[in-house]
Amino acid sequence: MKIYIGADHAGFELKNTLISFLRERGDEVIDLGAHMYDENDDYPDFILPVAKMVSQNPEEVRGIVIGGSGIGEAIAANRMPRVRAFVFNGQRMPGDGSRVPDAVTLSREHNNANVLSLGARLVSTPQAKEVVVRWLETPFSGDERHVRRLRKIESSS
């Protein structure tokens, strides 16, 4: 699978770790930066190029964007047409004991998310690797109701 990846200073180290990990898996990974650590860089400079590449071929490629929380990165990525970015910055069990749905899997099965936004300050490296693999390997269900909803989103932009 072809994966575009980008991160600011907060996600720089995790990005480099994930690039090696994904290449070892056999994925084609294109690093769109940052290529050096700069604590004063701005996440849109690295996230928007990833989102633009995914926007050009949203069903065939994926993007992974990484920042401190993943929130701003997802907001930036979702500005591009046909990009469906999902934020993962750690899944917790609620205090009342109720079950937390697997949001990573649902982001793919129900929403056909094509960009994964990770919060490097909130997830561990092992957790990030597990989430990335699950996200990459989960197919879109293609259920009519999900397709219909995604078409409505696309037609509004």
pLDDT in tens, 23-67: 999 999 999 999 999 999 999 999 999 999 999 999 999 999 999
Residue 21 — pLDDT band, cuts 50, 70, 90? very high
Residue 135 lies in a domain: yes
Return d(Cα 50, Cα 134) in angstroms, integer.
20
Closest-CA residue to 59 (of 19, 108, 129): 108
Give the tens place of pLDDT for each residue, 100-124: 568 999 999 999 999 999 999 999 9
At 157 the pLDDT is 66
- Residue 107 is assigned to a structural domain of this protein: yes
pTM: 0.94
**Closest to 8 in 3D by CA, of 62, 57, 48, 53:** 48
User: CATH no. for residue 125?
Assistant: 3.40.1400.10
Does 128 fall in a domain? Answer: yes
User: What average pLDDT score do residues 91-108 get?
Assistant: 73
Average pLDDT, the chain: 94
Q: Which amino acid is at 70?
A: G
Residues 67-92, mean pLDDT to the nearest whole number: 94
Alpha helix (H) residue ranges in 26-114: 44-56, 71-77, 103-109
Q: Which pLDDT score is estimated for 93?
A: 57
Q: 6 in a domain, yes or no?
A: yes
Q: What are phi and psi of 105, to 5 degrees?
A: -65, -45
Structural domain range at position 124:
2-91+103-156
Q: How many domains does the chain have?
A: 1
What are the residue numbers of the active site? Answer: 73, 110
Residue 111 lies in a domain: yes
